Structure 1
Amino acid sequence: MTKRSIEIMDTTLRDGEQTSGVSFTASEKLTLARLLLQELRVDRIEVASARVSEGEFNSVREITSWARDEGLLGKVEVLSFVDGGASLEWMEKSGARVQNLLTKGSLNHLKYQLKKKPSEHFKDIAKVLEQAKEMGITSNIYLEDWSNGMRNSEDYVFEYLDFLKSQPIKRVLLPDTLGVLTPGETFEYLDRIVKRYPDFHIDFHGHNDYDLSVANVMQALRAGVNGLHLTVNGMGERAGNAPLASVVAVINDFMPEIAIGVHEKSLFKVSKLVSAFTGIGIPSNKPIVGDNVFTQTAGIHADGDNKKNLYFNDLMPERFGRKRKYALGKTSGKANIQKNLQELGLSLSDEELKMVTARIIELGDKKQRVTQEDLPYIISDVLGTGSVPQNVFIRSYVLTHAKGLQPSTTVAVEIEEKLYEENAQGDGQFDAFMNALRKVYSGLKRPLPTLVDYAVRIPPGSNSDALCETVITWRDNQKEFTTRGLDSDQTVSAIKATEKMLNIANLAN
């Protein structure tokens, strides 16, 4: 089967920059232009709007200078306006050689924004196109609000397209400017236009106001369009544009008759860079590029992956330079944990695995998120707990800390099945806790080991807010030993480490 090649034009640097609060610097635009054309391998990029600002001019000049040296200048496009040639002069000075001329694609916009008749608008457009031709600038042409034009003023749209047949243009760009099209309308309108104007190169430019942009893109391709306009992370005005990563995956997986040149493995990298430059985070559940989209959470899914990959689909993370992950939380089963242990090169017995699973579920019930980096700490904590018989239990405590008042703690500790309660103050919550314990042990005439060192650690590389590990070194009769506590709260993790110390000390006594 001969595939139909489709051009992908990325407009992140122009239309995507219309995302509220987003403005790329000249160096950021150049960096992204390089990645989009040379690494991601889109066919064209729309990088700016003419005459917007001095900064925009400088960014275009840097991009066109680089693109000229790389033989890519024809792939760099600028949005221009019907302004008597002012945009063309701006482009010539900046080095840009392809204009995407913005014109009115609906009678409503023409009447109420420009207050002109179609013949007047067409005459103005013809002048700009002729001037561009004389300057050696290639022209593509946007029919702004084309989708509403087809709904409400179809005769005008066809009158306009008939006019364009005699004009020096390379592409007709049809935007769903307000994101109002349904998939059915997208196919109907474009199918009629493609059949009526077979010599036109037609691009579809979808917006996502109803979350239909990817579905509309699929229907535009079915109708026979020649190109698509997309943005990284679906950036753009209001709800944004059709997202590049999702569309690429959909074409590759569901439309075998379509050929595109985009390099899938670079999608995630470029997505992350755009997010970093803009400060706009990527939703964790965003298809292809979200943090969680290749993460199995339910234990039954991880178990299924061990049995002929029962929960895999064609969206394999390796396609996009990513890896499948197995989340650790209250829905985790042993299979999730085993998957993470394998990656860490660790192994546990069945009994040890049960204990670690129970601890992770306990953390999940507290709505705490556990990551792979936390796992060795959990194992150390859980398996270390069982090595000493427990005869001392810290049954309850109240920690208070108020501005202008000294921290205090009330503690109830069970020692060999008897409950003791004391209250004390200290320089901090844990110091107050230790002072209350000393009161208990002083009354029993039992010595307490001396605290030698106190360290708090967060698992290296973890982005989890679930855990911190407190490691305390104690001295007892000239011998030193260490205990560890693990919890999301630093003071509580220290108390857990202290409870372990009390049991070791009790065993020694």
Structure 2
Amino acid sequence: MVHIGNLKATIKIYDTTLRDGTQGEGVSLSADDKIKIALRLDEMGFHYIEGGWPGSNPKDMEFFNRIRQYPLKNAIITAFGSTCRPGVAADQDANLNCLLAAGVKAAAIFGKAWDFHVIRALNTTLEENLRMVRESVAYLKAHGLTVFFDGEHFFDGYKANPDYALEVLRAAVQGGADAVILCDTNGGSLPLEVWQAVSRVKEELPGVELGIHAHNDGEMAVANTLMAVQAGAVQVQGTVNGLGERCGNANLCSVIPNLTFKLGCTTIPRENLVYLTELSRYVYELANLNPVANQPYVGESAFAHKGGIHVSALLKEPGTYEHLDPALVGNTRRVLMSELAGISNLLYKYKELHLDKNSPEGRQVLDRLKNLEHRGYQFEAAEGSLELMLRKALNGYREPFQLQSMRLILEMREEQPIHSEAVIKLKVGDEVVHTAAEGNGPVNALDNALRKALETFYPEVAGLRLLDYKVRVLQEKAGTEAMVRVLIETGNGKKTWGTVGVSTNIIEASWQALADSMAYGLLEEHKIQ
């Protein structure tokens, strides 16, 4: 019977982001990056940090040489390698001696636990493989290392030949392994299979510390890890954000909070879990990867609510649509505005506007929002435009400027860059401003002309920076007559905001988004109320 509930077990967290994580497609970390991540993991309270395979490349050996300069508070740096080769004595094996040269206190070595791999991949006998496992572990133990044995392909091996898979683990225990790690190397096992296999190993090897190393090829790595713990594993291996070869490894950003908050286990210090979201984004940044928005617990969308019924319930009790307080893992609740929104979304997002639930203005804004989204607008990423629309409806907002006319001049000559010039006439307060500016394309010319017209009245526009500009065609079959949506992201050094424009004319759509971006920026500077 699978145990569900409070285990009250202490689980050691073994991170392999710096080794297994870097085997993921598009993932590359410099030695400096690996040092930075290791120090952050140590601060979080991770128990083991696998730094790499010292015998495989100079970068990993550089990491091991340099990390010794840092006095770690919590983590033990671990080196990774394999058992000795067939027909080679352990003390003569170059790979094992590289592990010793790395100067670490702990090592994880893998050996084949699947008879199919022993015969077809290693081209050796089943008995020789047992010798390789037993002597390799014993050799490292004789040099004072803590040794973890990773039973590679254990679950596939157990399904094919359970007796031999168990014999491989016994060989590691005979060699003195401090823990035996059961690996779902191909990532194709199912949770119940994992639970049954780990339970059997626990019976066959009483008193032996067991661990789990799961890959995510069947999208079961986190589930399999949790099942292994419920069956008796006390060490879990994985990576930050689930980085790793093929479909990745068990995601520690999900495993750790599940173990802590759902199963009642002791993992890293609970007070450090508030930095989990920050750790996730830090690793993404160093790996030069875009964060996965819908990643559980730490993703930007993990606690984002869009449906009006959901938000209405959240206002009464957050637990109605959240399985966990996002603050526990350092994340935040977000309420999105779209055609699925209700008045509760507006109430939640714009509390400072004191919008009444039964307000006709609020209903009008909601109806207008839904109509605009039907036409192609999108306000999830354009909350600047949404807030301006809401403030206008509440009759308490004065626009900082109004467009009276706009003219664009584009001149293209043979073998010369296109010349772009924008001429605009604005009404700012009681004055009319007529100005022109050139730019690198029509939108840039418009941006320059708008800033030039406003800077006398609002010098703070100089601090507003356009950060991103996206155009999407909404009616592909309409060709060049299609409706387009323009999204602009702007920042002032303290925060960023999005604005949107939609039209069959890309210049008009761009102007809508651009004008809103400036107006919202001035609102943020508290110059316009």
TM-score by length of 2: 0.73
Alignment map for 1:211-226 (pairs within 5 Å): 211-226=219-234
SS in 1 for 2:229: helix
Q: 1:32 aligns with which of 18, 25, 37?
A: 37
CA positional deviation for 1:310: 6.1
Residues 113-152 of structure 1: pairs in structure 2 closer than 5 A: 113-152=121-160
Superposed, 1:78-477 pairs within 5 Å as 78-83=79-84, 84-256=92-264, 258-262=265-269, 263-309=272-318, 311-342=320-351, 345-348=352-355, 350-365=359-374, 366-368=376-378, 369-380=380-391, 382=393, 431=423, 451=434, 454-455=450-451
C-alpha separation between the residues in 2 aligned to 1:348 and 1:460? 31
C-alpha RMSD of the superposition:
3.6
Confirm whether residue 77 of structure 1 aligns to residue 78 of structure 2: yes
Q: Is the 8 A contact 2:385 2:500 kept in 1?
A: no
Q: Distance in 2 between matches of 1:31 and 1:158?
A: 39
Residue 490 of structure 1 is matched in structure 2 by 510
Which segment drifts farther, 307-316 or 107-116? Answer: 307-316
Q: Is the counterpart of residue 61 in structure 1 residue 65 in structure 2?
A: yes
Matched, 1:15 2:11: no
Question: How far apart are residue 104 of structure 1 and its match?
Answer: 0.7
Partner SS, residue 142 of structure 1? strand
Change in CA separation of 1:469 and 1:204 when aligned onto 2, cut-off 3 Å: closer
Q: In the alignment, residue 357 of structure 1 is paired with which amino acid?
A: L
Question: CA, structure 1 residues 129+27, in 2 after alignment: closer, same or farther (shift >3 Å)?
Answer: same
Contact 1:82 1:101 in 2 (8 A): yes
Cα distance change, pair 48–306 in 1 and its aligned pair in 2 (3 A): same
Q: Does 1:46 align with 2:50?
A: yes
Measured at CA, do residues 374 and 31 of structure 1 come closer, stay the same or move farther in structure 2, by a change above 3 Å?
Answer: farther
Deviations 1:44-84 (A, max 9, x none): 11121121211111112222332xx33657x2111112244
How far apart, CA to CA, are the structure 2 residues paired with 1:486 and 1:11?
Answer: 42
Name the aligned partner's letter for residue 259 of structure 1: T
TM-superposed deviation, 1:162: 2.9
Q: How many residues align?
A: 436
Return closer, same or farther for 1:398/1:259 CA change in 2, 3 Å cut-off: same
Contact 2:53 2:80 in 1 (8 A): yes
Residue 305 of structure 2 aligns with an amino acid whose one-letter code is Q
Does the C-alpha gap of structure 1 residues 362 and 52 become closer, same or farther in structure 2, counting only changes over 3 Å?
farther
Residue 450 (structure 1) shift: 5.3
Secondary structure in structure 1 of the residue aligned to 2:133: helix
The question of whether the paired residues in 2 share the 8 Å contact of 1:459 and 1:468 is answered with no
Once the 2 structures are TM-superposed, how far is the Cα of residue 94 of structure 1 from its aligned partner?
Answer: 2.8
SS of 1:20 mapped into structure 2 = coil
Shift of 1:140: 1.2
Q: 1:203, 1:134 → 2: CA distance?
A: 22
Question: Percent sequence identity over matched residues?
Answer: 23
Report the Cα distance in structure 2 between the residues aligned to 1:469 and 1:85, rounded to whole angstroms: 57
The worse-fitting range, judged by mean Cα deviation, of 234-243 and 365-374 is: 365-374
- Structure 1 position 317, deviation (Å): 0.8
- Equivalent-residue separation in structure 1 for 2:488 and 2:133 (angstroms): 65
User: Partner letter of residue 96 of structure 1?
Assistant: V
Q: Give the conservation status (yes or no) of the 8 Å contact 1:381–1:486.
A: no
8 A contact 2:15–2:239 mirrored in 1: yes
Amino acid at match of 1:312: Y
Q: Deviations over 1:185-224 (max 9, x none)?
A: 1111111110111121110111111111122122212211
Kindly indicate whether the alpha-carbon contact (under 8 Å) linking 1:9 and 1:42 is maintained by their aligned counterparts in 2. Answer: yes
State the Cα deviation string for residues 467-494 of structure 1 (Å, max 9, x = none): 5699xxxxxxxxxxxxxx9736233468
Task: State how far apart, in whole Å, the 2-side matches of 1:125 and 1:192 are.
Answer: 21
For the 8 Å contact 2:83–2:110, the answer to whether it is kept is yes
Return the offset for 1:372.
4.2
- SS state at 1:65 partner: coil
Q: Do the aligned partners of 1:201 and 1:225 also contact (CA within 8 Å) in 2?
A: yes
For 2:363 and 2:181, how far apart are their aligned partners in 1?
60
Question: Contact 1:65 / 1:95 at 8 angstroms: preserved in 2?
Answer: no
Q: More displaced, 1-10 or 217-226? A: 1-10
> How far apart are residue 402 of structure 1 and its match?
8.9
Give CA deviations for 1:392-411 in whole Å, capped at 9, x if unaligned.
999xx999979669xxxxxx
Scaled by the length of structure 1, what TM-score is found? 0.76
Question: Which structure has the greater CA radius of gyration?
Answer: 1
The Cα of 1:171 is off from its aligned counterpart by 0.8
Question: 2:242, 2:489 → 1: CA distance?
Answer: 40
- Note closer, same or farther for the CA distance 1:35–1:363 as it changes in structure 2 (3 Å cut): farther
Deviations for 1:84-137, whole angstroms, at most 9, x for unmatched residues? 442343233332121111111111111111111122222233333333233222
Over 3 Å counting, the alpha-carbon distance change for 1:400 and 1:463 in structure 2 is closer
| Distance of 2:516 and 2:25 partners within structure 1 | 48
C-alpha displacement of 1:22: 1.4
Q: Which amino acid aligns with 1:23?
A: S
Name the structure 2 match of 1:439: none
1:250, CA displacement in angstroms?
2.1
2:175 aligned counterpart, secondary structure: coil
Contact kept in structure 1, 2:335 and 2:345, CA below 8 Å: yes
Displacement of 1:10 in angstroms is 1.2
Measure how far apart 1:284 and its partner are: 1.4
- The answer for the alignment partner of 2:480 in structure 1 is none
- For 1:82, give the aligned amino acid: T
Aligned 8 A contact 2:83 2:96 in 1: no
> Given residue 206 of structure 2, which amino acid in structure 1 is its aligned partner?
P
Distance 1:467 1:334, change over 3 A: farther
Letter in 2 for 1:209: D
Conservation of the 8 A alpha-carbon contact between 1:186 and 1:219: yes
